Amino acid sequence: MQSCLDIDNSGSKSGSDSVGFVMGQRVHLTGDTRRIGTVKYVGAVEWYEGNWVGVDWDNGDGKHDGSHNGVRYFEAQGPKTASFVRPHNLSSGVTLLKALEFRYHGESTKEEQDEMYVLSATNKKVSIELLGIDKIQNKLSRFEELTSVSLAYLGVSSAGPPGHINTTIPRLKELDLTGNLLFDWREIAAICKDLPALVTLNLSYNIMSHDISGMPLLNHIKVVVLNHTGICWKQVEMLKDSLPLVEELHLMGNKLRGITPLSSDIVHGFDSLRLLNLENNFIASWDEILKLSQLKRLEQLFLNNNCISHIWYPDHNSLSKPPNSHELLGESFRPFQNLCCLLVGGNKIEDFSSIDTLNLFPNLLDIRLSENPIADPGKGGVPRFVFIARLAKVEILNGSQVSPRERKESEIRYVRLVMSKCHDNPEEIKKLHPRFAELKKFHGIENEKVANGATVPQKMSSSLISITLKCVAASIGEKAPLTKKLPATTTVAKLKILCESFFKIKSVKPKLFLQEEGSPLPTLLDDDMTSLFDFGVGNGSTILVDEEC
């Protein structure tokens, strides 16, 4: 008789296993704490003796979908994520203190010590002596002094006897329980109650039960990480009364599609929440995010890698408002009053109105827009300087600081670009480029017609600009950078000819790029008839000289 159906695993062939598992329980394969799954079935399997446990594996490494030989026993998450396993081949986990003992009191084996060596000049093994290791191990062995503990993937499933945790690690402030077998919130409550100094709790990759009833008040917890736990927003709402002073809440990878408050259209409570992480979920509508707009202390909102296509701010002049939007537009509090960091990279934003509306957020300074269609040149997106010019207050864009110099050069370049593209249609400029008139006036750029009908600032176009030319073409070889003063009206075509002379190249066709401070990729100067001035090249700019493929 097999010990395991549809997976390779050795074990007893006896059919007299004592089961001891319950539906929904988290287990791991004996001897492999990273092979974790959820119990979906306990009992007999037709044509086989004894008891079996049907497990749906987290990593999807199974053989079937919960059915065997044409008989369905349970529904698995995928076509090949499940297995039937003998009970003795599964572990229901250990207490937190057992894992702690293993993690910090376990000594290295002789085999492990023998592997710690380097090879000498004569190819002989020289043992490594880690300086201070005895002192470190001694400190780690004194549990009462520990303030931070990581017990990731050690099979923790319970708190153990009441009071034992507090007696053992009374000073603990940070606890990482990533990837364990915890699923009952009562065990989480027991752990937290026994650790009165605990501030940070990480429960990532523990698939938690939907029943959160009876959670006690835990007003010492400030940071909670619930990434990939299967939690939904209704459960989050149930937790908020138990965690009144939580400042950071991380909910990545939970397949969230919406924000569903229990008693209102707007999320209330969470009076201390400063950071909310909703990355890697399935939120598509900005209306869902607006339900968070009255969290009075919210400073950082992480929404990377969702499905958002449009952003709008619910001011009093909004043309379209969601149902019950009067809750959003109260006179006493502006929506997202303290939000200073908004990360929306990796979404589906492709319209400029979403970018321009970010100026309406009262204190928004740090913005991430990368990996959206509007930031992808291959999909018709625009370069960094356009975002800087359109976003009046942004100080950090896509993780990179916007210096005063970069802002000035970006705004001037943007004004020139708009003037060259829309010079005969002032109404179109006003509609499509809300900051154009403001920036044009601020930088003192005056109109002066040129031969091609475009408008450029007379003072700027008639002056000389100092630029640095760096040759990066592989076939040309190493060349020292050159600094040249050229008229701002010099065209790209003319500069290419000059580069052939400057670097004494004849067989190579130059290709020019503008390298901008803070921009991860240089901008191709792809129009030979456009002037350096119109491309935004100014004093101190760097032009990279490459070669056509």
- Residue 279 in contact with residue 304, Cβ under 8 Å? yes
Are residues 86 and 150 part of one domain?
Answer: no
- Cα–Cα distance for residue pair 336/345, rounded to 1 Å: 19
Q: Looking at the domain assignment, is residue 454 inside a domain?
A: no
Residue 476 lies in a domain: yes
pLDDT for res 107:
54
Spatial separation of the C-alpha atoms in residues 60 and 74, rounded to whole Å: 15
Per the listing, tokens 């939970």 go with 254
Tell me, yes or no, whether 263 and 152 share the same domain: yes
- pLDDT (0 to 100) of residue 122: 55
Q: Say if strands 223-225 and 248-250 run parallel, antiparallel, or are unpaired.
A: parallel
Last residue of a domain, one of 360, 388, 405: 405
Measured CA angle at 469 (ends 467, 471), to 5 deg: 170
Considering the domain boundaries, does residue 329 fall inside one?
no
Q: Provide the token pair at 87.
A: 């009970």
Query: Does the residue 177 lie in any domain?
Result: yes
CB 160 within 8 A of CB 137: no
- Taking the mean position of all CA atoms in its chain, how far away is CA 476? 41
> Do 221 and 307 fall into the same domain?
yes
The answer to whether residue 115 sits within a structural domain is no
Q: Which two tokens stand for residue 175?
A: 């606890």
Alpha carbons 25 and 311: distance in angstroms, whole number? 41
Same domain? For 310 and 213 the reply is yes
Contact 546, 479 (CB under 8 A): no
Same domain, 137 and 56: no
**Residue 446 is assigned to a structural domain of this protein:** no
Specify whether 303 is located in the same domain as 382. Answer: yes
Q: Alpha helix (H) ranges present in 42-108?
A: 96-105
Burial class (CB in 10 A: 0-12, 13-18, 19+), 172: buried
How far, in Å, CA of 210 to CA of 270, rounded?
A: 20
Q: Is residue 495 part of a domain?
A: yes
* Residues 155 and 40 grouped into a single domain: no
The domain in which residue 527 lies consists of 464-547
Please give the pLDDT value at position 483.
92
**Domain match, 250 and 176 both:** yes
pLDDT at 105: 77
Q: What is the CATH number of the domain that holds 511?
A: 3.10.20.90
Same domain, 142 and 34: no
Sign of CA dihedral 273, 279, 281, 286: positive
Residue 71 sits in a domain whose CATH number is 2.30.30.190
CB 197 within 8 A of CB 52: no
Contact 259, 268 (CB under 8 A): no
Q: How many structural domains does the chain have?
A: 3
Alpha carbon separation from 236 to 273, 390, 470 (Å, rounded)? 13, 36, 54
Which residues, in sequence order, are bridge partners of residue 276? Answer: 249, 301
Tally of CB atoms within 10 A around 264:
11
Q: Is residue 323 part of a domain?
A: no
Res 131: pLDDT: 52
pLDDT at 295: 94
pLDDT of residue 41: 95
- Give the SS3 label for residue 371: coil
Q: What are phi and psi of 205, to 5 degrees?
A: 60, 25
245 plus 162 within the same structural domain: yes
What tokens appear for 108 in the block? 């290295």
**Which secondary structure element, helix H or strand E, spans residue 324, and what is its range?**
none
pLDDT of res. 104: 86
Angle between helices 133-141 and 96-105 (to 10 degrees): 160
Domain boundary among 378, 405, 432: 405
Residues 254, 401: one domain?
yes
Q: Reduce the DSSP state of residue 233 to 3 states and report it.
A: helix
Q: What is the CATH number of the domain that holds 174?
A: 3.80.10.10
Q: Note whether 98 and 85 are same-domain residues.
A: no
Q: What DSSP string runs through 156-202?
A: EEE--STTHHHHH-TT--EEE-TTSS---HHHHHHHHHT-TT--EEE
- pLDDT tens digits, the chain, 549 residues: what are they? 455 555 434 333 333 455 689 998 999 999 999 999 999 999 999 988 999 999 999 988 899 999 988 899 999 999 999 999 999 999 999 999 999 999 987 655 444 445 555 555 555 655 555 454 454 455 455 889 999 999 999 999 999 999 999 999 999 999 999 999 999 999 999 999 999 999 999 999 999 988 888 789 999 999 999 999 999 999 999 998 899 999 999 999 999 999 998 878 899 989 999 999 999 999 999 999 999 999 999 999 999 999 999 999 986 444 344 444 444 444 556 899 999 999 999 999 999 999 999 999 999 999 999 999 998 866 778 888 899 999 999 999 999 999 998 899 889 888 888 887 766 677 888 888 999 999 999 988 876 443 333 344 444 444 688 899 998 887 777 788 999 999 878 889 999 989 888 888 777 788 899 887 656 678 888 778 877 876 777 778 899 988 887
Among 55, 138, 155, 25, CA closest to 100: 155
Task: Compute the half-sphere exposure of residue 547: CA atoms within 13 Å on the CB side of its CA.
Answer: 15
Give rounded-to-5 percent helix, strand, coil for the chain: 25, 20, 55
Last-in-domain residue among 355, 377, 405: 405
Q: What is the pLDDT, as a whole number, of residue 448?
A: 42
